[in-house]
A and B are shown apart, each in its own frame.
Chain A
Amino acid sequence: MSGMITVEEAEEVVALPPEQPSLPPGEWIRKNLFSSIGNGVLTVLFALLLVFAFRGLVNFAFENPERDWDAVRANLRLYMTFAYPLDQYVRVWVSLGIVLSLSGLSAGLWSPDGYVSARRISTWFLGGGAVLLAAALAVQGQLQRDENGEFLIDEDLELIRGSWASGLGSRISWFALAAILIGAGAAIWFGLGDRRRNTFVRTVNLTYAGFGVIVGSLWVVRYGHYNGSPAEGTHYADPDSLVAMSTRLPWTVMWVLLGVSYFVGKAVRGWPLLKPLALTFWGLLPFFVFWVVLRDPDIDWAHVWTTDLPMYLAFAVIGGAVLFTLTNPSLGEIGRALAFVLLLVAVFTFVGGFFGWFSMLQKARLSFVFLAAFALVANNFAGEFAKRRTFVIGWLLTLGVMHYFVTLINSASTLNIRSDSFLGGFMFTIFAAVFGLMFSFPLGVLLALARTSSLPIFRLLATTFIEVVRGIPFITVLFFFSIMLPLFLPEGMEVAEHGAVIVGLVLFSSAYLAENVRGGLQSVRRGQYEAADATGLTTAQRTGLIVLPQALRVSIPPLVGQTISSYKETSLFAIVGIFDFLRIANNVVPNQSSPINFVGHKREGLLFVSLIYWIGSYAMSKYSQKLEKKLGVGSR
């Protein structure tokens, strides 16, 4: 599981242009760092500054006797899933398994063609090894302890350390790992010789191998482990046992799942409809994982047979018939008129429900809204029988999915939780970010369109909303939604605080997304509108087919920037009292006194949390750069 696998994979030589030859190291340093006396001085100055800035941090991370990384590793489950019940924990693994399987399948279906040259892989190994070696060598002498294991101090109350060499002994494993890394890097570098520049490995394979190395290391490396049972009071950190006995098997299963699904995806690549199907599953995935897998709803089957199913059938049959009629090409204007009537009914039932005029079921209201939306676009699907049939099938499926989820949401959760929600920790951060993006993106696009619309009422509403939201700090929005949202809801309707703050996040980021999209809209040239008009497209078709695709493409960098911000802003949830990722590091772990005393251990957690946030943000920003490059092809 070391770098040697990668060398073999690197042998698959692909016809790609070789990387530009780079300068030899000595030459590069001279040219880039010491090209003049002034530059040389600056280089030295900044190098010293870096050393001083990070010396304290490195010292804290590796040497400081006050730091205790057990505070993080013993609490990993808390960090990731907070209060999710242990007896149902398999649900978390199933969720992760579904996500990874779909990822692997998608990777196989789309087969992203990214490559990394052997030369770069080799430099990663060499660099990683060098950093590790430096860290191992930078060790201070080992702290001296007395026979009771207490640290010895001198008369100035300073800790007493042994010689530098005495510290090296505890770092044997570091030296070994550094040697392996440097050895692997050198093996690739010298083994391939001149071919290292034009030998490439697929990024997919490399990522999978890297994941495999990490998973494999769980079986070998002693990271320390949390052992025993909290109920029996035998919960303790056991630094000598193999790491995460509880997670190494599940993680290995996850790794295998990812690989198998990748090959399945590759095998069925040519099949029709799979890509749109995969995208649909991605869209439904967060809802499915949240409401079905994690929440474990207790469905009342009697109610399903007597009420839910008949209602679905009624809407399916009547709605299907209406839509089939509406897609008749000779119908023309009647279709649009009927669509507006349906929309009015839908809005009326919603508003009516708000004031308690109707006791109509939520599901019926939503069905009216969905039917109205389908009726509005029906004209675009008018045509021959097959096309109309596809449209009606689309209606049946959409309606079915909607009814399914509403039924689940209305069923009580059977989970036995001690907190006010089973969501917490990093899992909540992920859900908040994903749901936030899923809802704020369409809302942002709609707001941008409304703001650039020619209808003054839309323009006014959108502009007001955007400017009001942008003028309020996010933390204020959060307090507002977590405390004051109930004032705006109809009597008897409740929204859990977790939901309320996500609504706040959606509204907040949609205002910013709208401004980004508006920038994109302004970049679409007038000629594009005229050409679309001149060919007879309706305004909706012009917007959806011509203007938005071009506007969104231009807005990718700011849109990803906004997505990253939203992901990071979820950490503000900690302030309104939600047990999110940050709050666990900042408030929960530092207050643990049993079974192990971690009181005051805040810094370890904050470093860990920062690292995880950074990895997520960096991955997104890298992906957006790739996306930009890919979409740029053929557009100019």
Chain B
Amino acid sequence: MTDAMTLHASSTAEMIVCDAVDKWYGDFQALKGVSATIAEREVVVVLGPSGSGKSTWIRCINRLEAHQGGRIVVDGVELTNDTRNIEKIRSEVGMVFQQFNLFPHLTVLDNITLAPRWVRKVPKADAEAKAMELLETVGIPEQAEKFPGQLSGGQQQRVAIARALAMEPRVMLFDEPTSALDPEMIKEVLDVMKGLARSGMTMIVVTHEMGFAREVADRIIFMESGEIVEVGTPEHFFTNPTEDRTKLFLSQIL
């Protein structure tokens, strides 16, 4: 990995703190008092059946969804309705989506340099040099001048990762990054994510890739019905789960 992913020296061990987070969609409670603390450099994989609130939770962490109860603190800044805090946190937290969400009217290079240039005010030449470095890291520097529509799904997702990294975030959120990919493209994306994890990035990954969870995660959080059911190391989680709901989930997928 290049210096694009170097660490930020920081004394805060706690990068993200969630305290009794509640979230409703109308009458439906999507998150029921979710509490968790993620340390710096930690890689957390969130598992759980569909509709368990995993995606909702990580989308609350960069305020794509507003939570209605409890507190969320990212890198010492609490998420409230204050726009300045939201913009600050969003530029510190990178996000990768299931559907890539690349900007179809911009080239790959422009996709990556857009936010650094407009949010961080990085000069164009510097932003492009940095973008090429990141494309090198994710293995597709030759695609820089193409449009997203001309790339395969795996390549698009790697561009999306590069786009998030271009802001030099302190935390990366992955919302089912491989779920929309053809099987043969999943590996190329997971490899990039593994490299990122090894470089010391703080990551929260919502995924169904058990192999990835077992290999890379420092901790696994299992959610169901908007609650955190069980938290543990991969070894504990896959070999010796304590909760019945966890056992049921594992028996269904393994």
User: Which A residues contact B (CB, under 8 angstroms)?
Assistant: 329, 333, 380, 382-384, 387, 525, 527-528, 530-538, 541, 545-546, 549-550, 553, 634-636
A387-B123, A531-B102, A553-B105 given; 5 more Cβ-contact pairs under 8 Å:
A534-B94, A541-B119, A635-B104, A635-B147, A636-B149
In the complex, the answer to whether B164 meets A535 with C-beta atoms within 8 Å is yes
In the complex, the answer to whether B115 meets A530 with C-beta atoms within 8 Å is no
Q: Which residue of A lies closest to B147 (CB)?
A: A634
Given A527-B99, A530-B97, decide whether A537 and B118 contact each other with a Cβ distance below 8 A: yes
Measured CA separation A384–B125 after assembly (Å): 13
B80 within 8 A of A: no
Q: Which residues of B contact A535 (CB under 8 A)?
A: 90-91, 94, 114-115, 119, 163-164, 167
Q: Which residues of B contact A384 (CB under 8 A)?
A: 123
Contact string against A for B residues 61-72, beta-carbon threshold 8 Å, 1 for contact and 0 otherwise: 010100000000
Q: Give residues of chain B (118-147) contacting chain A, Cβ–Cβ below 8 Å.
A: 118-119, 121, 123, 146-147
Q: Which residues of B contact A550 (CB under 8 A)?
A: 103-105
In the complex, the answer to whether A527 meets B101 with C-beta atoms within 8 Å is yes
In the complex, the answer to whether A538 meets B87 with C-beta atoms within 8 Å is yes
Q: Which residue of B lies closest to A526 (CB)?
A: B101
Measured CA separation A550–B101 after assembly (Å): 13
In the complex, the answer to whether A527 meets B97 with C-beta atoms within 8 Å is yes
In the complex, the answer to whether A533 meets B64 with C-beta atoms within 8 Å is yes
Smallest distance from the beta carbon of A323 to chain B beta carbons, Å? Answer: 16
Q: Which of A530, A541, A549 contacts B101 (CB 8 A)?
A: A530
Q: Which of B95, B104, B118, B121 contacts A534 (CB 8 A)?
A: B95
Q: Which residue of B lies closest to A634 (CB)?
A: B147
In the complex, the answer to whether B119 meets A635 with C-beta atoms within 8 Å is no
Q: Which residues of B contact A329 (CB under 8 A)?
A: 121
Q: Which of B87, B150, B160 contacts A634 (CB 8 A)?
A: B150
Q: Which of A387, A527, A533, A545 contacts B114 (CB 8 A)?
A: A545
Smallest distance from the beta carbon of A377 to chain B beta carbons, Å? Answer: 11
Query: Interface residue tally of chain B, by bracket?
Result: 20 to 34
Q: Which residues of A contact B164 (CB under 8 A)?
A: 534-535
Q: Which residue of A lies closest to B95 (CB)?
A: A534
Smallest distance from the beta carbon of A337 to chain B beta carbons, Å? Answer: 13
In the complex, the answer to whether B149 meets A383 with C-beta atoms within 8 Å is no
Smallest distance from the beta carbon of B175 to chain A beta carbons, Å? Answer: 10
Q: Which residue of A lies closest to B99 (CB)?
A: A527
Q: Which residues of A contact B167 (CB under 8 A)?
A: 535-536
Q: Which residues of B contact A531 (CB under 8 A)?
A: 95, 97, 101-103, 160
Q: Which residues of B contact A533 (CB under 8 A)?
A: 62, 64, 90
Q: Which residues of B contact A532 (CB under 8 A)?
A: 103
Smallest distance from the beta carbon of B17 to chain A beta carbons, Å? Answer: 20
Q: Which residues of B contact A380 (CB under 8 A)?
A: 118
Nearest 9 pairs between A and B by C-beta?
Answer: A536-B91, A634-B147, A531-B101, A535-B115, A527-B101, A534-B95, A536-B90, A383-B121, A536-B119
Q: Which residues of B contact A527 (CB under 8 A)?
A: 97, 99, 101
Smallest distance from the beta carbon of B79 to chain A beta carbons, Å? Answer: 13
- Could you pull out 8 A-B pairs where Cβ atoms are within 8 angstroms? A384-B123, A387-B123, A525-B101, A534-B164, A535-B91, A535-B163, A537-B118, A635-B104
Q: Which residues of A contact B114 (CB under 8 A)?
A: 535, 537, 545
Given A534-B95, A538-B87, A553-B105, decide whether A635 and B118 contact each other with a Cβ distance below 8 A: no
Given A531-B97, A635-B147, decide whether A536 and B104 contact each other with a Cβ distance below 8 A: no
Measured CA separation A541–B121 after assembly (Å): 13
In the complex, the answer to whether A546 meets B103 with C-beta atoms within 8 Å is yes
Measured CA separation A224–B152 after assembly (Å): 65
Q: Give residues of chain B (68-91) contacting chain A, Cβ–Cβ below 8 Å.
A: 84, 87, 90-91
Q: Which residues of A contact B90 (CB under 8 A)?
A: 533-536
Smallest distance from the beta carbon of B109 to chain A beta carbons, Å? Answer: 13
Q: Which residue of B lies closest to A381 (CB)?
A: B121
Measured CA separation A541–B103 after assembly (Å): 13
Measured CA separation A525–B146 after assembly (Å): 21
In the complex, the answer to whether A534 meets B150 with C-beta atoms within 8 Å is no
Q: Which residues of B contact A534 (CB under 8 A)?
A: 62, 64, 90, 93-95, 97, 164
Measured CA separation A380–B118 after assembly (Å): 7
Measured CA separation A284–B62 after assembly (Å): 44
Q: Which residue of A lies closest to B114 (CB)?
A: A545
Smallest distance from the beta carbon of B148 to chain A beta carbons, Å? Answer: 9
Q: Give residues of chain B (155-202) contacting chain A, Cβ–Cβ below 8 Å.
A: 160, 163-164, 167
In the complex, the answer to whether A634 meets B118 with C-beta atoms within 8 Å is no
Smallest distance from the beta carbon of A547 to chain B beta carbons, Å? Answer: 10
Measured CA separation A546–B160 after assembly (Å): 15
Q: Which residue of B lies closest to A332 (CB)?
A: B84
Measured CA separation A549–B160 after assembly (Å): 20
Q: Which residues of B contact A634 (CB under 8 A)?
A: 146-147, 149-150
Measured CA separation A634–B115 after assembly (Å): 21
Smallest distance from the beta carbon of A203 to chain B beta carbons, Å? Answer: 26
Q: Which residues of A contact B95 (CB under 8 A)?
A: 530-531, 534
In the complex, the answer to whether A541 meets B94 with C-beta atoms within 8 Å is no
Q: Which residues of B contact A333 (CB under 8 A)?
A: 84
Q: Which residue of B lies closest to A541 (CB)?
A: B118
Q: Which residues of A contact B147 (CB under 8 A)?
A: 634-635
Smallest distance from the beta carbon of A363 to chain B beta carbons, Å? Answer: 33
Chain B CB count within 10 A is highest, among A525, A535, A538, A553, for A535
Measured CA separation A549–B147 after assembly (Å): 15
In the complex, the answer to whether A635 meets B149 with C-beta atoms within 8 Å is yes
Measured CA separation A387–B90 after assembly (Å): 25
Q: Which residues of A contact B101 (CB under 8 A)?
A: 525, 527-528, 530-531
Measured CA separation A527–B148 after assembly (Å): 14
Measured CA separation A382–B91 after assembly (Å): 17
Smallest distance from the beta carbon of A272 to chain B beta carbons, Å? Answer: 14
Q: Which residue of A lies closest to B104 (CB)?
A: A635
Smallest distance from the beta carbon of B165 to chain A beta carbons, Å? Answer: 11
Measured CA separation A528–B148 after assembly (Å): 13
Q: Which residues of A contact B121 (CB under 8 A)?
A: 329, 382-383, 387
Measured CA separation A87–B104 after assembly (Å): 55
Q: Which residue of B lies closest to A549 (CB)?
A: B105
Q: Which residues of A contact B91 (CB under 8 A)?
A: 535-536
Q: Which residue of B lies closest to A636 (CB)?
A: B149
Contact string against A for B residues 107-119, beta-carbon threshold 8 Å, 1 for contact and 0 otherwise: 0000000110011
Smallest distance from the beta carbon of A635 to chain B beta carbons, Å? Answer: 5
Q: Which residue of A lies closest to B119 (CB)?
A: A536
Q: Which residues of A contact B64 (CB under 8 A)?
A: 530, 533-534
Measured CA separation A525–B101 after assembly (Å): 9
